[in-house]
A and B are shown apart, each in its own frame.
Chain A
Amino acid sequence: MTVDTWQIVAQGILGTLQLTAVGFALGALLGLPLLVLRISAAWPLRALARTYIEVTRGVPLIIWLFLIYNGPTQIDPALGSVFTSWRSAVLAIALVSAAYMAEIYRGALRAVKQGQFEASRALGMSRLDTATRVIGPQMVRVAIPSSASYAIGLLKDSSLASTIGVFEITYYASVASSNTASVTPFFVAGIYYVALTFPSAWAARSLEGYLMKRTA
């Protein structure tokens, strides 16, 4: 295991972190309107959101990556320059994360005691105020642990983006592996992933312990 291998694979760490962070942030944002649709009073909207969530989560990420990256070129080869590796990967991860995050938010919403809706309505608070000042802050606390473990999972799933040529850890590992005809780069990649997820998992666990004390 030469120092070289470590350095070559390390080139991808930033790519992995960027892809995970941007994809997750977009997904977390898109998850909110999806949640609103999912719990909407109008059943067609609810069914639409439910279908989106089930189908998005039911199809492997790799299919989304290929579909978004390669799919448009069937219609017009020029679209290949619009859906670059990086954009396709971010888009695929954001779409899938939105579905997962909407379900996490919904779980958090259910964990907040229902009486609080009625209580704040009875106190004359508007629906918007109830949502943003009473329910929202508590939801965030409940949702953080599961969001964190989802984000950690995403860090590893972002390795799939190497298959469409995004420059992240696994990509550099496969390049180095085929150049040197050895498996060492993949061991190195594994160690980097464990090194990235280990502290995040630990941080998520202690955050969880702290936050659970502060929910009614």
Chain B
Amino acid sequence: MTEIWNDWLTHHDQLLGGLWVSLRLAFMALLLGLPAGLVLAVGASSRRRVLRGFIVVVIEIGRGTPALVMLQVVYNGIPVTLTGFVCAYIALALTTAAYTSEIIRGGLQSVPGGEIEAGRALGMSSFDVLRDIVIPQGLRIAIPPLMGFCILMFQATSLAFIIAVPELTSQARSIANNTFHYLNLFVIAGVLYAIVTVSASLVTEQVEKKLQRHV
């Protein structure tokens, strides 16, 4: 125990720096991925068969490819040289878009069909119905599972160490490789991850309870 504490005292600057990179990475991936997920969700519930089929295939490919493979493909596959951080951001955003589109689609579908018909009967265009009726209510239903996904995405940033992004896992690994204190460092990293994720899931639980009262 004291040994772990000593390692923490020695390396906490580097580890907290790593945690900050992880948080930033998760934030950036969600910032780009969530709107893209919404677009995919709307596309996947389109009435045009060709468009719908195309979007569904894109979503399934995105969900079927492990984030680790996605990172490698983006990092090595794009002919332009980008920094590891940007590549991780793009790869995780792609994964986010594919996964959240299914969550959002579930939310959009739970908006009663009668409301859509009512909007159309009032002379609203189908775009207006989507923007003013379906999306606001659908997104609200999707909020708790989306928050859960955000927590998972924060955890997925740990994979970015494979393309040399200096986030928490990669910092813990590089310190451990130098000091051979593998156990200590990974315990510390695990505790740091758990502090963020467990408190975030407690918040999610509260939000879920709050929203249930209004549905």
Give CA–CA (A201, B72) in the complex, Å: 24
**Bound complex: CA of A57 vs CA of B197, how far in Å?**
9
Are A186 and B181 neighbours in the complex by a CB distance under 8 Å?
no
Contact with B along A59-72 (1 / 0, CB 8 A): 11111101100111
- Whether A173 lies near B69 (C-beta < 8 A) is yes
Smallest distance from the beta carbon of A79 to chain B beta carbons, Å?
A: 10
List A contacts of B68 (CB < 8 A): 159-160, 162, 170
Could you say which residues of chain A place their CB within 8 Å of the CB of B69? 159, 170, 173, 186, 189-190, 193
Q: A43: CB under 8 A from chain B?
A: no
Judge whether B173 is part of the interface by a CB distance below 8 angstroms: yes
Q: Do the beta carbons of A156 and B66 come within 8 Å of each other?
A: yes
Which chain B positions have C-beta within 8 A of A74? 180-184
**Interface 1/0 per residue, B37-71 and A, CB below 8 Å:** 00000000000000000000000110111111110
Interface range for B: 35 or more
Q: Which of B64, B73, B151, B190 contacts A194 (CB 8 A)?
A: B64
A58-B198, A59-B197 known; A67 vs B187 contact (CB < 8 Å): yes
In the complex formed, the residue of B with least CB distance to A54 is: B198
Distance in Å from the Cβ of A5 to the closest Cβ of chain B? 14
187-208 of chain A: CB within 8 A of chain B: 187, 189-190, 193-194, 197-198, 201
A55 in contact with B72 given A63-B189, A194-B64, A197-B64 (CB within 8 Å): no
Nearest CB on A from B177, distance (A) = 9
The residue among B61, B68, B169, B176 with the most chain A CB atoms within 10 A of its own CB is B68
Out of B60, B159, B184, B197, name the residue touching A160 (CB < 8 Å): B159
Which of B72, B186, B193 is the one whose CB lies under 8 Å from A58? B193
| Residues of the A chain whose Cβ atoms lie less than 8 Å from the Cβ of B159 | 60, 62, 160
Please indicate the chain B residues that have their CB under 8 angstroms from the CB of A156 in the complex: 64-67
Query: Contact at A170–B66, with CB atoms within 8 Å?
Result: yes
A11 adjacent to chain B (CB < 8 Å): no
- Take A67-B186, A75-B183, A190-B73 as given contacts and tell me if A62 and B66 are in contact as well, using a CB distance cutoff of 8 Å: no
Whether B77 is near chain A, meaning CB under 8 Å from some CB there, is yes
Chain A positions within 8 Å of B173 at CB level: 66
- Is A120 part of the contact surface with B, judged by Cβ < 8 Å? no
Query: Taking the nearest CB of chain A, how far is it from the CB of B6, in angstroms?
Result: 13
B137 CB-CB contact with A under 8 Å:
no
With CB as the reference atom, state the residue of chain A lying closest to B156. Answer: A60
Which residues of A are found within 8 Å of B155, using beta-carbon distances? 58-61
> Complex Cα distance A19/B156, Å?
20
Chain A residues 76-119 with CB under 8 Å of chain B are none
Interface pair B76/A177, CB less than 8 Å apart: yes
B201 on interface, CB distance cutoff 8 Å: yes
Which of A71, A183, A194 lies in contact with B77, CB distance below 8 A? A183
The residue on A at minimum CB distance from B77 is: A183
Query: Known contacts A60-B193, A62-B158, A162-B68; is A183 also within 8 Å of B169 by CB?
Result: no
**Contact across chains for A72 and B197 when beta carbons are under 8 A apart:** no
Q: List 16 A-B contacts (CB under 8 A).
A: A58-B155, A58-B201, A60-B193, A63-B169, A63-B186, A66-B176, A67-B186, A70-B186, A72-B183, A73-B182, A156-B67, A159-B69, A187-B77, A193-B64, A197-B64, A201-B64
List of 8 A-B pairs having minimum Cβ-Cβ separation, nearest first: A58-B197, A194-B64, A70-B182, A71-B183, A156-B66, A183-B76, A60-B158, A159-B66
A71-B187, A170-B68 are known contacts; what are 20 more A-B pairs with Cβ within 8 Å? A54-B198, A58-B194, A58-B197, A58-B201, A59-B194, A62-B169, A63-B169, A64-B190, A66-B182, A67-B183, A72-B183, A73-B180, A74-B184, A156-B65, A159-B68, A160-B159, A183-B72, A183-B76, A190-B65, A190-B70
